[in-house]
Amino acid sequence: MLSRIELSNCKFNGPIPSIITNLTELIYLDLSFNNLTGLIPEFHMSKKLTHIDLSFNRLSGPLSSVHFEGLSNLEYIGLGSNLLTGNLPSSLFVLPSLQKLVLNYNQFDGQIEELPNPVSSQLNVLDLSSNNLQGNIPSSLFVLPFLQNLFLYNNQFDGQIEEHPNPESSQLNILDLSSNNLQGNLPSSLFLFPSLQNLLLSNNQFDGQIAEIPNPDSSQLNMMRESRNLMTLEVSHNNLSMFSSSNGNSTFSTSLDKLDLSANKLKGEIPTWFWGMINGSRYLNLSFNQLTGFQNPYTTPSIDTLDLSSNQLRGELPIPPSFSTYLEYSNNNFNALPEDIGN
């Protein structure tokens, strides 16, 4: 009996043949990168299916809660880059064996309801990017116990992100919420996810300050700083307003390799504690803000790429590190050029 069909990139067109849905021994189905059209069929007869990849076609219509009903072995659903529409049923996210759900680059809309029994989910990759999804992001998405990669960028999500009740339990490695309409302060619990390496929040409406963790217990803070692995933080094109005063402890981990705070509303002097937190990073972008200077004592940070352009910085041009490869200081108010620049 036929158990595996791999026919990707074969220039097929027209609807998916209905006979495929009658294959009771089918385990693996890949029809990606074709020109298939019409609705996605229901696979109720194929109880052994573990893998469905119909991505990069021209399939249309909605997904219902019964499309994959009864497929208890299904581990992978790939429907990205099609023309699918309508609301997403929340039951889709908690299929008993599903590990990867990829629905990006479609036309899904509406609000995602809270997931029923999210702790039972096996999902480790969820990609809903580049759709027309709206409303609040369900807090239950952040408590999926095995979720490592969550891509929600380029939608119309709005509202605030709730604080995670138990951030130390999160397995998230990549969280991309960029290009939405999210508002409010950056939740401090996001910075306490122990496995998080890439946090992408650009092109939203986040506000508030770049600050230390409020009222930290020193022993707990040290443990959190040792456990955090955050390497990339992108929060450009938001409404962050200023750097707060600090006693030296920052929200940002010293493991940061890339930090982008460009095109916000940061004002005043760049505080000394900030340079200490990003020292050793590869990339820092503070361009298109309203920064005026550097708090003393100023220590030259060890950064390979530094962009401070389009601010209101004045005084003497900061001496860059000798190993820096790219510096952008244009569109400021500097009035003196260091004699030893480039040495």
For position 148, which CATH number holds? 3.80.10.10
Kindly report whether the global pTM for this prediction surpasses the value 0.85. Answer: yes
Rounded distance between C-alpha atoms, residue 144 and residue 20, angstroms:
32
Could you tell me the maximum CA-CA distance found in the chain, to the nearest angstrom?
A: 79
Peptide linkage before 297 cis (omega within 30 of 0): yes
What pLDDT is recorded for position 106? Answer: 98
Arithmetic mean of pLDDT over the chain: 88
Instruction: Tally the domains of the chain.
Output: 1
Highest mean pLDDT among 23-37, 179-193, 326-340: 23-37
Residue 146 domain flag: yes
**DSSP codes, 134-145:** EEPPPGGGGG-T
- Between 323 and 196, the more confident residue is 196
The string of pLDDT tens digits covering residues 116-139 is 899 999 999 999 999 999 999 999
Residue 317 domain flag: no
- Between 176 and 280, the more confident residue is 176
Give the residue-averaged pLDDT of 307-317.
93
Residue 318 domain flag: no
Tokens encoding 321: 């590190």
Q: Which helix (H) or strand (E) holds 273?
A: helix 272-278
DSSP state of 280: T
Residue 322 domain flag: no
Residue 332 domain flag: no
Residue 341 domain flag: no
What pLDDT is recorded for position 315? Answer: 86
Residue 312 domain flag: no
Tokens encoding 312: 């209101």
The string of pLDDT tens digits covering residues 214-249 is 433 333 333 334 346 899 999 999 999 877 655 544
Residue 307 domain flag: no
State the Cα torsion 193-199-201-202 to the nearest 10°. 160
- Between 48 and 272, the more confident residue is 48
272 contact partners, CB below 8 Å, separation of at least 6? 295, 296, 297, 298, 299
Tokens encoding 134: 């709206």
User: Are residues 113 and 87 in contact, defined by beta-carbon separation less than 8 angstroms?
Assistant: no
Q: Which domain holds residue 51?
A: 4-270+285-293
Residue 203 predicted with pLDDT over 60: yes
CB atoms within 10 A of CB 289: 25
The residue to which tokens 């307003």 are assigned: 241
The residues facing 60 across adjacent strands are 83
